[in-house]
Structure 1
Amino acid sequence: MSGRATSLHWWINWPRACSLVLALGLSTAALADELLVASNSEFSTALAAAESGDVIRLAPGVYSGGFSRSGLSGVTITSVNPEQPAVFQGGSFGLQLSDATSVTLEHLIFEGQTGNGLNIDDGGSYETPSTDITLRHLTVRDMQQGGNFDGIKLSGVTGFMIDRVLVENWGSGGSAIDPVGSHNGVIQNSIFRHASGASSGVRPKGGSKNIAIYANRFEMGAGEGRAIQAGGSTGPEYFRFIDGDSDYEAANIVAAGNIVVGALAPVSWVNIDGGVFHHNWLQNTGKWTMRILNENAGNNIVDTQNGVLVDNVIEYDSTAGWSRAANVGAETLPDTFTFARNQWQNAGGATNIDLPTTEIDGVYGAINVPRVGDQIRWDFPWGHWVVNASPNQANEAMEIAGSPNLLVATPGENAHFDPLAADPLTGDWSFTPLENNEVTLSPQSQMILVLPGVSSAIPQLPGDYDRNAVVDAEDYRLWKQQFGHTGTPLADGNGSGIVDLADYTIWRDQLAVASRLPGDSQMHSVPEPSSIACTAMCVAVYLVMAR
C-alpha cells in the first residue's frame, strides 16, 4: 500500500480558497447554479451574469480569448470534462478578472495570447485588491510575442493559491507567474518550462509579501533566464504594500522543495531584505548559482541583504559554462547573507565554491539526499517531507525508515506548514498512521510525515494511537499491529519504549471513558483479553530469544 499524497497550504489565516482546495468546493457547488456553456456568446453571457455560488462549466472546445469581468465574486469557472478542458485561444489575453473575490479557475487551457495568458488584478484600485483566488489544474502556454509578457499576471492580489498548473513558453522577457504587489500566496506542485530567453519563472516584486514557492519544477534553457527571483524592478506607480510597509520589492519570500533544471541563475535576490531558499535541488546550473542584485539603484528601495541559502543540493559543471557560485551586483550587501549545509557537486572537476560569506557545514563533492527519479525525501528533526516534482509519472517506491512512528499530515483550513520550524504545523490538520515503510507519490504532489510528539496540532488523547482525536476500534487495530514494536511506535501509550499490554490497558480504559460521554451512542466492544495475553506471551518469548 502506498502512502497518500497531500497538497500543502502555507499561510495561516488562509481565506476561503484553502477550504475550496481541500474540500473541492463541494459545499458551494451543492448550492450553486450550474451555468453550462458551449460557445463564445454563451460564456460571455454567463460570465457577465454570474453571481456568488454559481459554477460556469465550459463544454470541450476552443473559445476565443479576450474575456473580462470586474467584481466577480464567489464563482468557479471550470470545464465540464476535466479530461478535455476548454481552450481559450488567442486574444491579447485569455481572461482578465479585476476586483475578484473568492474565485476559482480550474481545468482550463490558455494558449496563443499576444500578451499575458491570464490576468488577475485590482482594476487599478489599490485599496481593493482581488482576494481569495484559487488557480488549479490550469495550462497556460505559447504566448505569441516576445518581450515582457507573462503566463499568469497577478497585480494587486491578496490571498491566492496556485496549485498544479503548467506554464510553458511565456514571453521571453516575462515570467511564468508574475506577482506584482501581491500578498499571502502559495505557488505549489506546478511545472514551469521555458526553452530560451531572459525570462524568469516566478518573480514576486512591486511590494509583494508572504509568498511561498513550494514543490514546483522549473525547466529553463541551458544558461537562460532566472528560475526563482525574490524581487525585481518595478515602476514606482505600480507598488502595492500591505501592513503599512514600504520601500522594498519583495518581503518574506520562501522557496523550498523545488527542482530547478538549467537557468542562467536558478536563484536571485533583488531589492529584498531577507528571502529564504532551502531544500531545493538545482540541476545543470548555468553561469551562476545565484545572483544578488540591485535593480533600483538611486531609488528609495532597500539594498539587497540578509538572504538565506541553506540545505539545498546544487549540481553544476565547471566545463559547461558555469562561472562561479554568486554574481554580486553593485549597491548590495552580500556580507549579510547566510549559507549553510548546502551540498555542492561539480560534474566537471573539483568542487571549489567561493561565496560572499563563509558557509556553515557545507558539503563539497558529495550528495546525500534520498531521491528516486524526481521523488525526493527531505529529512528534518520532526520527520520527512517527500516531494514528487515529476511532470508526468509516478516514481518507484521510496523507503521511509521508522514507519511505525510516523503520521501522514493532511492540511485543513488555516493550515500552515513551515519546514524549518521546530513545530512545522500550525492551524487545522488531520493525521493518519503511515501504513508501511514505502511511499509512492503521484506527479506534482507532496507528503508530510511527522513524528507523533513534534507538533501541538497532533491530538494527544490517551489511547488515541492513530491520532484522529477519537478513541475507537481503529486504535486497538493499530495497537495489535504494533504489539512488540520497540522505539517510539505510535501505540506506545505510556512511553515505555515498547508496545505491550500496558498500552492495551490505556486504550481499554479510555474507551470506557469515551463510551460514557454524553451523546456517545456507539456500542464499544472490547476484544477478549485471553487472545491478547496469548499474543503477548508469544512476543515476550521472541524478545527473550532475540537477546
Structure 2
Amino acid sequence: MPRPACALSTGKAALPAEETFFCITFKQMPALMRLLCILLPLLCLHVFSSANVLHTGHGQPYPDLTVAAKAAVPGDTILLHNGTHAGDQSLQGLQGKPDRWIYLLAEKNGDVLFKGGTSAWRGSDIAYLHIEGMVFTGQTGNGLNLDDGGTYASPSHHIVFRHCIFRDMAATGNNDLLKLSGANDLTIEECTFLNGSPGGSGIDMVGCHNSLIRRCRFENMGANAVQMKGGSSNIFVEACVFKNAGSRAINLGGSTGTAFFRPANAAWEAEGLKVHSNVFIGSEVPVAFVGCTRSEVVNNTIYKPGRWVIRILQENKDTARFGKCGNNTFRNNIICFDEQVRTACSTGPGTAAESFTFSNNLWFHTGDSAWPGPQLPAHEKSTLTGKDPLFRDTAKEDFSIKAGSPAAGAGFAVQHPEKDHAGTRFKSNRAIGAFEVKQ
C-alpha cells in the first residue's frame, strides 16, 4: 500500500493501522518543531520575495546593463527590454549563488540587440549567471569577452548561454564572437554563431574546463567555429551543426603562449575533449587534433569538406614540456566527400599519430566508386568504404539515414554518445554517423 502523501496529518483522516506510525498530529509535536513548521515557510517566502526584477533599457529604471549589473544581487533577474542596446557593457564581478542564480533575460528572445563596441559585454570573475535570448552584433574586438581577470586560481564559473545569437563581427583579425579565458562549468546551448571574423573563432576557449556546447549552429566562420586550447579539458561538443565553419571547424587544441595556460603546469594544449553527434558541412578541414590527448570524435557526420577530413598537428614546439598529439580516437563517423579532398588525413611532424584509434568509420567518395580508402597513420578496424550512406535529403541538410543504410547497426559499441543528433537514443547495435536509424 502506498505511503501517505505527507508526513503530517490533521488527525481527522483515517489511515490503515499499519501506516499510522508514519504520521503525527500538529498538537503532538514538540513546541520547537511546531515553531519551525510555522517559521520555515515564512523564511522561504522572504528569501524568494527578496529577489528583484531589474528592468533595463531605454526609459527603464536601469538605463543600461552596466548599471543593472552593479545593483543586482543573488536571485535577481535583469530583464533587458526589447530594442538596441549599446556595446561595451560591464559585468565585472557579477556573481549569483549556487541556489540563487542571477538571470539576464531578453524581454523577447531575439529582440534585444547589443550592437557595436569593442565587446558587447566584458566580465571578469563572474559566476552563476544564466544569459538567454540576446543578440550580439557588430563588435570590433570580441563579441563577448568573459575571463578570470588574470587570477588563474579563481576562474569565472557556472555560466549558461541559451538561445543567444552571436553574429557579424566588424573585424578581420583574430577576433572571436565569444571569447572565454579561464572559465569553467559553462553551458552554451541552442545558440547561433554567424559570420565570424576571417581570422577568429566562433567560440574560443583558453583554459576552460568541465563545459558543454550543445545544439548550436555555426555558419560562415573564419579560422574555426570552436577552439579549445591553453590547457582546456573535459569539454563536450554535442549535436551541433557546422556549416562552412572555417579553416578548421573544430580545433581540438591549438597554440597557446606559455603565460596563458590554465592550469599553469598543463602538459597538453587540451585533453578529454568529446565531439559527439555533430553534423559538419564544408570547411577546409572539419576536425583538427592539435596538441591534444585523450580526446575523441565519435558518431559524427562529415559532408563534403574542402581539403582534408582530419588534421593531426603539433603546433606548440616545446617538447620538454608538452606531450605529442596522440592517444586520440576517431570512430563511428560517416565521411561523405568528393574530389575536393586529396588527402583524408594530413599529419604534421612531431605528433604521435600512430597512437590514434581509428575504427568503424564509413568513407564514401561520391565521384569515385573505385576509391581505395583513406591513408591513415594508424590501422583502422572495421572500415566501410565505397558504400553510399543513403542520407535522406542532403539539399535540406537532412543527414538522417534510411533503414537500408550500410551505416545502420555497423557502429562500434561505445557508452557515449547516448543520443544522436536529433535526440534519439542510440541502439545497442548503434549506427555509424550522427543519426540513429528511424523506426
Equivalent of 1:268, from 288, 291, 313?
288
Quick check: 1:344–1:351 contact (8 Å CA) kept in 2?
no
Deviations 1:20-48 (A, max 9, x none): xxxxxxxx987631111122834332121
Following superposition of structure 1 onto structure 2, how do residues 81-160 of structure 1 map, counting pairs within 5 Å? 81-82=108-109, 84-160=110-186
Of the structure 1 ranges 63-72 and 184-193, higher mean CA displacement relative to structure 2 is found in: 63-72
Equivalent of 1:78, from 102, 105, 130?
105
Following superposition of structure 1 onto structure 2, how do residues 260-339 of structure 1 map, counting pairs within 5 Å? 260-299=280-319, 300-318=321-339, 321-339=340-358
Equivalent of 2:263, from 234, 237, 241?
241
Equivalent of 1:186, from 187, 194, 212?
212
Question: For the residues of structure 1 that align with 2:152 and 2:76, how far apart are their CA atoms?
Answer: 27
Change (3 A) 1:336 1:30: farther
Structure showing greater relative contact order (alpha-carbon pairs closer than 8 Å, 6 or more residues apart): 1
In the alignment, which residue of structure 2 is the partner of 1:17?
none
Question: For the residues of structure 2 that align with 1:157 and 1:136, how far apart are their CA atoms?
Answer: 17
- Deviation of 1:204 after TM superposition, in Å, equals 0.4
In the alignment, which residue of structure 2 is the partner of 1:62?
84
Deviations 1:199-233 (A, max 9, x none): 11111000000000000000116xx5001111000
In the alignment, which residue of structure 1 is the partner of 2:253?
231
- Deviation of 1:450 after TM superposition, in Å, equals 7.0
1:47 aligned to 2:74? no
Question: For the residues of structure 2 that align with 1:30 and 1:204, how far apart are their CA atoms?
Answer: 40
In the alignment, which residue of structure 2 is the partner of 1:366?
387
Question: For the residues of structure 2 that align with 1:132 and 1:191, how far apart are their CA atoms?
Answer: 22
Percent identical pairs in the alignment equals 32
Look up the equivalent residue of 1:366 and give its one-letter code. Answer: K
Quick check: 1:29–1:55 contact (8 Å CA) kept in 2?
no
Question: For the residues of structure 1 that align with 2:95 and 2:81, how far apart are their CA atoms?
Answer: 22
Quick check: 1:144–1:171 contact (8 Å CA) kept in 2?
yes
Quick check: 1:294–1:331 contact (8 Å CA) kept in 2?
yes
1:213 aligned to 2:240? no
Quick check: 1:192–1:218 contact (8 Å CA) kept in 2?
yes
- Deviation of 1:118 after TM superposition, in Å, equals 1.0
Following superposition of structure 1 onto structure 2, how do residues 250-265 of structure 1 map, counting pairs within 5 Å? 250-265=270-285
Change (3 A) 1:31 1:374: farther
Secondary structure of 1:176's match? strand
Change (3 A) 1:62 1:445: farther
- Deviation of 1:357 after TM superposition, in Å, equals 1.4
Quick check: 1:313–1:367 contact (8 Å CA) kept in 2?
no
TM-score, normalization by structure 1 = 0.62
Equivalent of 2:56, from 26, 37, 41?
37
TM-score, normalization by structure 2 = 0.77
- Deviation of 1:172 after TM superposition, in Å, equals 1.3
Secondary structure of 2:354's match? helix
Question: For the residues of structure 1 that align with 2:152 and 2:307, how far apart are their CA atoms?
Answer: 38
Question: For the residues of structure 2 that align with 1:356 and 1:30, how far apart are their CA atoms?
Answer: 62
Secondary structure of 2:63's match? helix
Quick check: 1:116–1:152 contact (8 Å CA) kept in 2?
yes
Question: For the residues of structure 1 that align with 2:416 and 2:309, how far apart are their CA atoms?
Answer: 28
Quick check: 2:152–2:182 contact (8 Å CA) kept in 1?
yes
In the alignment, which residue of structure 2 is the partner of 1:384?
none
Count of residue pairs brought into register by the alignment: 361
Quick check: 1:269–1:291 contact (8 Å CA) kept in 2?
yes
1:421 aligned to 2:415? yes
Change (3 A) 1:36 1:263: same
In the alignment, which residue of structure 1 is the partner of 2:367?
348
- Deviation of 1:371 after TM superposition, in Å, equals 4.9
Change (3 A) 1:287 1:42: closer
Quick check: 2:211–2:234 contact (8 Å CA) kept in 1?
yes
Deviations 1:401-444 (A, max 9, x none): xxxxxxxxxxxxxxxxxx9228959xxxxxxxxxxxxxxx9xx8
Quick check: 1:29–1:54 contact (8 Å CA) kept in 2?
no
Look up the equivalent residue of 1:52 and give its one-letter code. Answer: P
Quick check: 1:203–1:228 contact (8 Å CA) kept in 2?
yes
In the alignment, which residue of structure 2 is the partner of 1:20?
none
Of the structure 1 ranges 73-82 and 125-134, higher mean CA displacement relative to structure 2 is found in: 73-82
Question: For the residues of structure 2 that align with 1:241 and 1:32, how far apart are their CA atoms?
Answer: 36
Quick check: 2:167–2:194 contact (8 Å CA) kept in 1?
yes
- Deviation of 1:369 after TM superposition, in Å, equals 6.9
Secondary structure of 2:228's match? coil
- Deviation of 1:449 after TM superposition, in Å, equals 6.4
- Deviation of 1:377 after TM superposition, in Å, equals 5.8
Question: For the residues of structure 2 that align with 1:42 and 1:182, how far apart are their CA atoms?
Answer: 29
Deviations 1:493-529 (A, max 9, x none): xxxxxxxxxxxxxxxxxxxxxxxxxxxxxxxxxxxxx
Question: For the residues of structure 2 that align with 1:330 and 1:68, how far apart are their CA atoms?
Answer: 43
Quick check: 1:181–1:208 contact (8 Å CA) kept in 2?
yes
